[in-house]
Amino acid sequence: MPENRVSACRHPLPLPMSLGEFELIARYFTRPVRRAALGVGDDCALLTLAPGMQLATSCDMLVEGRHFLSTVAPRRLGHKALAVNLSDLAACGAQPLAFTLALALPSADAAWLEAFSQGLLAIADAHGCELIGGDTTRGPLNICIAVFGEVPVGQALLRSGACAGDDVYVSGVLGDARLALEAFRGTVGLTGEAFSAVRTAMEQPQPRVALGVALRRVASSAIDLSDGLLGDLGHVLQCSGVGAAVEVDALPRSAVLAAQPLAVQRECTLAGGDDYELLFTAPPSRAPAVQAAATQAQLAVTRIGRIEASAGLRLQDGEGRPVTSTRRGFDHFRQ
Ligand code: ADP
Ligand code: MG
């Protein structure tokens, strides 16, 4: 073990009749530290940054009934809780290092905790992001994760860098998570296989970390799509002081969504939310570098429009005719 690492105090792992706070932390959320200088078990965790690196940090909360349905399997919930946070690191081009977990639970249900921690730690391992601390309390189910990542000084992708003339791109496909939500609400009907595909998109989003890292020094701005394209692109335009024209029917979508009526497709791709794809901009001269980044990340990226000098977002169909949408991005205090 390198000298700068200190082993966190190791709890025994008993199997108590009823699980107390510290047994619960020890059993489900404590593992040997790997990269961190100090992990779970002391008052603070310690992280050592490599020279020339900046710490990127973000925090996202998941509240039952607000961010997830009570029907979600705990393993998938564990995955999603970290995925949405890793997606913020991806949007900044940061490489994940570690995270903390603040958890409010109505009860210490061993089967639930086992499945939740498995889902959580599996995606953590897939991204080399270690759990270094947290807080555990009784209360209505609420999961709050803070992630820490690193990015070379000055290379973080920001919302504020888009320039007139830049191309606008998105990764992957949009709208499946929203389609799943509509299926749960009963406003659209889907066959078993189609429902299961979009439900997986909603419950197990894949954060685009490799793409974000590959877009350092390529993209002029980036954001992850959590609240729907209209709202999230709107943030980029506002932060960058520019406008954009977007071709609505060029937005990439799955075969399942493409089988829906055009109005549903547009609603889901434009105002869906929970996509966790990256939206980014780059000057046309960097189009080959964008494609190289996509290849490196093994992910499709699609050009959906262009940044323009005049403020506002102009939606167009394939023939360049204006498309109107009254929808905005999701706002917790507006809807
Ligand atoms: P303190 O009272 O000093 O804030 P706690 O008693 O809340 O510490 O937690 C004890 C240790 O367990 C700390 O290192 C804390 O970071 C960690 N911890 C608590 N809850 C969790 C959790 N859900 N996941 C990971 N680590 C946790
Ligand atoms: Mg303390």
Element (H, E) at 243: strand 243-247
21 lines ligand 1 (CB under 6 A): no
142 lines ligand 1 (CB under 6 A): no
Q: How many Å lie between the centroid of ligand 2 and the Cα of residue 111?
A: 28
CB atoms closer than 10 angstroms to residue 107: 10
Mutate to test the pocket of ligand 1, among 105, 121, 136, 144 (most ligand atoms within 8 A of CB): 136
pLDDT, tens only, 59-75: 999 998 888 877 889 99
Per-residue confidence in pLDDT tens, the chain, 335 aa: 333 344 344 444 444 446 888 899 999 999 888 888 898 989 999 999 999 999 999 999 999 888 887 788 999 999 999 999 999 999 999 999 999 999 999 999 999 999 999 999 999 999 999 999 999 999 999 999 999 999 999 999 999 999 999 999 999 999 999 999 999 999 999 999 999 999 999 999 999 999 999 999 999 999 999 999 999 999 999 999 999 999 998 999 999 999 999 999 999 999 988 999 999 999 999 999 999 999 999 999 999 999 999 999 999 998 889 988 655 555 555 54
Residue 237: both structure tokens together: 């335009």
Q: How many Å lie between the centroid of ligand 1 and the Cα of residue 135?
A: 5
Give the dihedral sign, CA 38/125/127/271: negative
Mutate to test the pocket of ligand 1, among 22, 40, 105 (most ligand atoms within 8 A of CB): 40
Closest CA to 308 of 167, 169, 171, 170: 167
294 lines ligand 1 (CB under 6 A): no
Q: How many Å lie between the centroid of ligand 2 and the Cα of residue 43?
A: 4
99 lines ligand 1 (CB under 6 A): no
Q: What is the pLDDT of residue 329?
A: 54
Residue 162: both structure tokens together: 């888009």
Phi, psi torsion values for 57, nearest 5 degrees: -140, 150
54 lines ligand 1 (CB under 6 A): no
| 289, 169 Cβ separation under 8 angstroms | no
Whose alpha carbon is nearest atom 1 of ligand 1? 43
Residue 196 CA to residue 178 CA, distance in Å, equals: 13
Report helix, strand or coil for 225: coil
Residue 163 CA to residue 281 CA, distance in Å, equals: 8
pLDDT, tens only, 191-226: 999 999 999 999 999 999 999 999 999 999 999 999
Strand positions, DSSP E, the chain: 53-63, 95-105, 130-138, 142-152, 167-171, 221-224, 243-247, 278-282, 301-308, 312-316
Residue 150: both structure tokens together: 């690193």
Q: How many Å lie between the centroid of ligand 2 and the Cα of residue 148?
A: 20
